[in-house]
Amino acid sequence: MNAATAHRPTSVPGPARRNITQDAVVIVPGIMGSELLDTTTGSMVWGLSSVRWLLKAWTRSDGFAALRMTDEELEGKTGRIQPVQLMRHSAWTPYLKGSEPYTNLITGVNGCVADPAAVLEFAYDWRLPVATNGKLLAEAARRHLTAWRAHPAHDSARRARVDEHPARLVFVAHSMGGLVTQTALDPLHDSDLAADTRAVFTLATPFYGAVKAAAILNTGRGAPVPLPHQQLQRLCATMPGLHDLLPQYACVLDRDDARQLTPSDVAALGGHRDLAALAADAASKRSAISLPGHRAVAGTGQITWQSLTLDSGIIRPHCHTVRRNSDGSLIRMSDGSPEHFDVMGDGTVHKESAALGPAVTPLPLQHGAAAADRSAVKAVQELLRDDVHLGPPMGGPGCGLEVPDLATAGTPWEVSITGVSAPADVTCEVELVDDASTATSPRLRLVKRRVRGLVDTSQPGLYRVSVRTRDRSTVTQLVLVTEPGLETDQVE
């Protein structure tokens, strides 16, 4: 054999078999990640593709009236609102900012299975308690696994896998979807479901809650706020699903100590005392449920609220947290005051809330784009294709991105980029979500150790900000730009 032929590939009897899984996959979206239909009117109340509808809904005082929980729904009489499918279009929410559609994740998963029938997109009414949706997911997952094991494509796929073992479940969950999945695996719902689950992959799931949930309930306390933020507070004040996202760790900085948020605190800041108590109880029960083969993606590098202080029912969020020693005592500085740590996160969920378990992949991404991120989808695909999982690939260093969640047409707003040392290290592009031809690149400058740029958008709409680093890592965020003169008022 000479040098010219030494590395020539040898012939094979036929084409190599496509590397696919025989497992059944369940995709579970996050809060506001499912399209919802009002069955009494036949109208879509969340998930329409039109940016015009999004602007109109958020800037009218009654724009989301149909989504508010009714007394009957709070008593458990549900069915008025029905989930339709996972979000197929970009959306925007105050505080939570933009959320990208699940199309990239769905496409990526479908490329790894033997037949589309192996994939269940579990849409759910995210207004309801996590416990309610967890029970529904347990039932749906069992039906899905049973149906897939009886599908003709299942037997064909399993013959190419180690020991030809039959399908098990793989849950791929984003944000709140991870909490719903953990609840579904409670043996009280289905004693065999955990054993029939090969892996759970969570993307930016707030296992210990998020300070932003408390901030949403507190919107407008003591200060005028834009109408979209008022809308969200009114919608969430009696929404069990939002209360399930409240922080369940010692997030309240109280003089020289730290404590957990109490139901009384939640009531004082604008939420619902009973819903907060139920959420705390549900979180305690959830913490005892293990996640089989769990792999977590935790967002990093983004400025994220991690703690808060309370003053007469008004919260002040902080981009730092405290830590404890193994004996439970706070780590303190030499003067005895608590040491503050900034662990950052994905802009909504701080890293230590999403990093549950030993197998955690940190990726520099924003919360709403976690399920659309190329590196995250690649990690999901690797997990699905592996018989014995070796761990998802690590992401590059990337960068952090901070933008306002709401801006006004004709008034410049700032893009702030962290984790890079010079404007030349990144490229930034701003475009209308429904019109890529509008893409512009703001001029970037280094100001006070951050790369910053001003964006001047003359046209109202939903804009996507994309920042790409030299390592080809991209972080994105959505900004809603409204007409000038948007009404502001104070939430009562």
pLDDT value of position 389: 42
Tell me 179's DSSP state: H
| pLDDT-derived band at 448, boundaries 50, 70, 90 | confident
Q: Which two tokens stand for residue 104?
A: 């990239």
| pLDDT-derived band at 490, boundaries 50, 70, 90 | very low
pLDDT value of position 457: 94
Chain segment 206-221, per-residue pLDDT in tens: 999 999 999 999 987 7
Chain segment 75-85, per-residue pLDDT in tens: 999 999 999 99
pLDDT value of position 398: 84
By percentage, how much of the chain surpasses pLDDT 70? Answer: 92
| pLDDT-derived band at 222, boundaries 50, 70, 90 | low
| pLDDT-derived band at 187, boundaries 50, 70, 90 | very high
Which of 166, 202, 134, 162 minimizes the C-alpha distance to 354?
202
pLDDT value of position 223: 66
Chain segment 117-127, per-residue pLDDT in tens: 999 999 999 99
Query: What CATH number corresponds to the domain at position 442?
Result: 2.60.40.1930
pLDDT value of position 225: 78
Identify which has the larger pLDDT, 492 or 134: 134
Is residue 352 in some structural domain?
no
pLDDT value of position 11: 47
Q: What share of the chain is helix, strand, coil (3-state, %, to 5)?
A: 25, 30, 45
pLDDT value of position 391: 46
Is residue 434 in some structural domain?
yes
User: In which domain, by residue range, is 449 found?
Assistant: 400-483
* pTM given for the model: 0.89
pLDDT value of position 159: 87
Is residue 158 in some structural domain?
no
Is residue 197 in some structural domain?
no
Quote the strand ranges of 240-383, DSSP E.
Answer: 252-254, 257-259, 294-299, 307-311, 314-318, 360-363
Lowest mean per-residue pLDDT among 150-159, 224-233, 388-397: 388-397
Is residue 55 in some structural domain?
no
Q: Residue 320 half-sphere exposure, CB side, CA atoms within 13 Å?
A: 8
Question: Rounded mean pLDDT of 213-235?
Answer: 87
pLDDT value of position 491: 43
Domain count, the chain: 1
CA gap 376, 253 in Å, rounded? 33
Is residue 290 in some structural domain?
no
CA gap 369, 375 in Å, rounded? 11
Q: Any bridge partners for residue 310, and if so which?
A: 315
Residue 185 has pLDDT above 90, yes or no: yes
Residue 477 has pLDDT above 90, yes or no: yes
Is residue 443 in some structural domain?
yes
CA gap 130, 139 in Å, rounded? 14
Is residue 442 in some structural domain?
yes
For the purposes of burial, counting CB atoms within 10 Å of the CB of 267, is it exposed (0-12), middle (13-18) or buried (19 or more)?
Answer: middle
Chain segment 364-419, per-residue pLDDT in tens: 999 999 999 999 999 999 999 986 444 444 445 689 999 999 999 999 999 999 99
CA gap 168, 21 in Å, rounded? 10
